[in-house]
Structure 1
Amino acid sequence: MFHNRITAGYELASRLKKFRDGDGVVMAIPRGGVPVGYVVAKELNLPLSLALVKKIGHPGNKEYAIGAASLADSYVIPHEGVSSGYIDATVARVRERLQEMQHTYQDHSRQEPLSGRTVIIVDDGIATGNTLLATVEMLRRERPSKIVVAVPVASREAFLQLSDAADEIVCLRVPEVFWGVGAFYEDFHQVTDHQVIFYLRKLREQHNERV
C-alpha cells in the first residue's frame, strides 16, 4: 500500500537510479501519472514531458481499451466487429480532447525529442495495460534507444503483456489479486489540471536553480 502518488514516486525512483543524469526523458501519463513522474524526473535529474495519449475504447465497453491515439499517431489492436468507421470517429473525438489538454499544458510542458534516447513512461498504475501497450507501440516510431515502463503497481496480466512490449519494466507491486489501481493507495484523489501545471512548473523551477 502506498500513501499517495508522491511517496510511490520516491520508491519508484529508487529503483531507477541507473538512469540518473543520463540522456533520458521521463514521460508521464496525465493526469494521475504526473505526480509520480515529477518525483522520478526530479530524483533522476531528467526532463519531464507529458505523454498526451488517450485510449480508444471498444464499442461494446468503452472502458476496455483496444488501442490509443495521440495528436499525431494511433495504434489499434484488431478486434472482430470493430469497424474502421468507428475507429476513425473515436480517434477524431480523442484528438479533440487531446488538443484541449495540449492547450491547457502547452505553456508549462515541452515535448522532448525522443530519437536515440531512453524513454521512461510513468503512470500511477496499470490495470489492463492495453492503453500503455498502444503508447509503447506509438513511441517506438519515434526511434528511442530504449523504452522503460515504470509504475508503482500493475495487474499480473498487464505486467506480463508490457514485459514483452517494452525493453524493460520496473514495477514495485504485482499483486496476485488486483482490485484496481486505487485500491493500492491510501490517498488516490483525482489529479486536477491545476496540479499537473503545478508539478510541471515546480520541476522547471528546480531545474533552473541547478543550472
Structure 2
Amino acid sequence: MALFRDRADAGRLLAAALERWRGSDAVVVGIPRGGVVVGAAVARELSLPLTAVVVRKLGAPAHEEFAVGAIADDIRLVDERAVRAEGAGAAAMRAVEERERAELRRRSELFAGGPGVAGRPVLVVDDGVATGATATVACRALRARGATEVILAVPVAPARWHPPPDAVDELVCPHQEAAFWAVGQFYADFTQTPDAEVVDLLAGDPRDRAV
C-alpha cells in the first residue's frame, strides 16, 4: 500500500517529524536524485537551506539493484558478506566501482554549490532506505566535512534497520515497515528524477547562494 503520493508529499510529511529544526542553522542535504526532491520539500516547510551530497551505490554485478556497498568522496563501504553471497568476483566488483566513480565525479560537478556544512548540523534526506549503504556513506562523508550533528531523515525504512552510531547521531523515520521489499512500493508515483530537476531544485532557493 502506498504511503506517499510522490516524493514531494513524502517530504512534507517528513518535515512534520523534523519541526524542532525549523528556522535553525541546520542545512538540509538531499541524496540525489530522489532524495533532493524530498529534501527540497523539507527545506521549504522548515525554512532551511538545501544542498546535496553525492553518493553512488555499488550494485552486485549480476543484480545491480541490490546494493553491496556505496562510495562518496573518500568514503567507501563494502559488505563483503553480501559480495560473497552474490558470488561477485574481484574483477567484476572493480569494474562496478570504476563505473560508479566516474558517475560520482560527473554528478559532483553537476550538483556542486550550495551552503557549506562545516560547523553546522545537517539533516540528511533520502526518499527511503533499503540496505542503508548509500545513506550511511552519505552521513560519514558529511561528518568528515565537519558537520556538528548528523540527522538521517527518511520517510520509510525497514522495521529493524538502524544506522551505525559512528555515522549518524539520530534517525528520524516516520514509517519503519516490517513488510519491506523496495522503497518504491510505498509511493504511488516513484518516477525516476532527472538530473535537470535536481539542478533546478538546488538552484531554486536564494538562501543557498547567501550562506
Do both share a fold (TM > 0.5)?
yes
SS of 1:174's equivalent in the other structure is strand
- Give the drift of 1:36: 0.8
SS of 1:93's equivalent in the other structure is helix
SS of 2:201's equivalent in the other structure is helix
User: Equivalent of 1:133, from 136, 144, 157?
Assistant: 136
Check 1:114–1:85 CA distance in 2 against 1; reply closer, same or farther (3 A cut). farther
Aligned-partner Cα distance in 2 for 1:173–1:163: 19
Task: Map 1:196-211 to 2 at 5 A.
Answer: 196-204=198-206, 207=207
CA contact (8 A) 1:67 1:74 kept: no
Q: For 1:45-65, what per-residue CA distance to the aligned partner results, in whole angstroms no more than 9, with x for missing partners?
A: 222111111022345643333
Aligned-partner Cα distance in 1 for 2:194–2:78: 30
- What's the counterpart of residue 54 of structure 1? 56
Aligned-partner Cα distance in 2 for 1:35–1:190: 11
RMSD: 2.6
Aligned-partner Cα distance in 1 for 2:27–2:110: 21
Aligned-partner Cα distance in 1 for 2:156–2:7: 11
SS of 1:189's equivalent in the other structure is coil
The one-letter code of the counterpart of 2:50 is: L
The TM-score, its normalising length taken from structure 1, stands at 0.82
Q: For 1:141-192, what per-residue CA distance to the aligned partner results, in whole angstroms no more than 9, with x for missing partners?
A: 22321110111111124xx331644111111211120131111111111111
Tell me, yes or no, if structure 1 residue 120 matches structure 2 residue 126. no
- Give the drift of 1:94: 1.8
Check 1:47–1:88 CA distance in 2 against 1; reply closer, same or farther (3 A cut). farther
User: Equivalent of 2:145, from 135, 142, 147?
Assistant: 142
- What's the counterpart of residue 151 of structure 1? 154
SS of 1:144's equivalent in the other structure is coil
The TM-score, its normalising length taken from structure 2, stands at 0.82
Check 1:94–1:183 CA distance in 2 against 1; reply closer, same or farther (3 A cut). same
- What's the counterpart of residue 162 of structure 1? 163
**Identical-residue share of aligned pairs (%):** 37
SS of 1:166's equivalent in the other structure is coil
Check 1:141–1:200 CA distance in 2 against 1; reply closer, same or farther (3 A cut). closer
CA contact (8 A) 1:38 1:203 kept: no
CA contact (8 A) 2:136 2:164 kept: no
- Give the drift of 1:140: 2.4
Aligned-partner Cα distance in 2 for 1:151–1:6: 12
CA contact (8 A) 1:153 1:174 kept: yes
Q: For 1:56-92, what per-residue CA distance to the aligned partner results, in whole angstroms no more than 9, with x for missing partners?
A: 234564333333222x312223516678776665443
Q: For 1:102-149, what per-residue CA distance to the aligned partner results, in whole angstroms no more than 9, with x for missing partners?
A: 34334xx42x33222111110111111122122222322223211101
- What's the counterpart of residue 7 of structure 1? 9
CA contact (8 A) 1:154 1:173 kept: yes
- What's the counterpart of residue 77 of structure 1? 78
Tell me, yes or no, if structure 1 residue 92 matches structure 2 residue 93. no
Question: Which ranges in structure 2 are unaligned for 5 or more consecutive residues?
Answer: none
The one-letter code of the counterpart of 2:119 is: G
CA contact (8 A) 2:150 2:168 kept: yes
CA contact (8 A) 2:122 2:151 kept: yes
CA contact (8 A) 1:75 1:138 kept: no
